[in-house]
Structure 1
């Protein structure tokens, strides 16, 4: 049987010990992205009320954007010669964003919770940024800026959509 570590040894000029901390930060952010994706879809499916259509469409757009980031994060982990998440259990062990299994959540509470969760994801991305800069991983440091901007924009939209006019 072949050594699985050798089979996954991706060529990189980055110091393996330095990028291990980057991979750990990326995997934590990835777990949060999957958690936020599923929560956003949950709220998309269960939103109700007079703003149903607007919220339903906005949450679907946001979920699509979040899911799109997951592959880029996982591929970045692999490009640095590390391994990424493998299961729902792995996500559960690493996530910092809480699940919401409530039977009913008001639309206002949904928007507020997702706003706060997107801001928590921004914190995760800032941790990735710090780790990548410390490791001299310019590619990760550069790409995480776009993910941060997207999460900040989602938080802003959720905030504005929830304001009372």
Structure 2
């Protein structure tokens, strides 16, 4: 039977059941819980924005079709890849990542709105600006919580996501100028 791992200083880490050690990554359980909760909201916002961007990619029509179709594809592809990193960070903190439409609807701050006219590219772009900005606001909350707890990996993840979503919001907003 394997022995529980040693804590720094030679003490044995506490175990929950059998040989499964408790999470001891240098963050308190309370901090991990707060950060994971914030990341769950961030994941929900990110997924909702991804879905909205993909929807607009599929359904755009009219004179802006080609340029927006390509722009939306680049954005939703990048957003899709990021979802995995966010969910895996929640898991690394010891919590279950939300993964259902019901959970995302409950946790997201982004309105799930359709555009009635598929050629109304301005409304699609406006909604994506608002969605990217909402993701940024949620990321800033998580970043502050993680920074206060000394959770550098989450701070790094939120900084990367902020950079991307602020740039996307700026590029989309520029289309409306």
TM-score (norm: length of structure 2) = 0.83
Question: 121, 134, 137: which one pairs with 1:120?
Answer: 134
Question: How many residues get paired?
Answer: 160
- Unmatched tracts of structure 2, length 5 or more: 1-15
Measure the CA separation in 2 of the matches of 1:104 and 1:81. 44
TM-score (norm: length of structure 1) = 0.89
Q: How far apart are residue 82 of structure 1 and its match?
A: 1.6
User: 2:132 touches 2:165 (CA, 8 Å); kept in 1?
Assistant: yes
- Relative contact order higher in (CA < 8 Å, ≥ 6 apart): 1
Measure the CA separation in 1 of the matches of 2:111 and 2:68. 21
Using the TM superposition, name which of 99-108 and 71-80 deviates more: 99-108
Runs of 4+ deviating beyond 3 Å = 6-11
3-state DSSP class of the match of 1:55? helix
- 2:168 corresponds to 1:154: yes
User: 2:58 touches 2:69 (CA, 8 Å); kept in 1?
Assistant: yes
Task: Determine the structure 2 residue equivalent to 1:49.
Answer: 62
Flag the structure with larger Rg: 2
- Unmatched tracts of structure 1, length 5 or more: none
Task: Determine the structure 2 residue equivalent to 1:101.
Answer: 114
Measure the CA separation in 2 of the matches of 1:44 and 1:137. 36
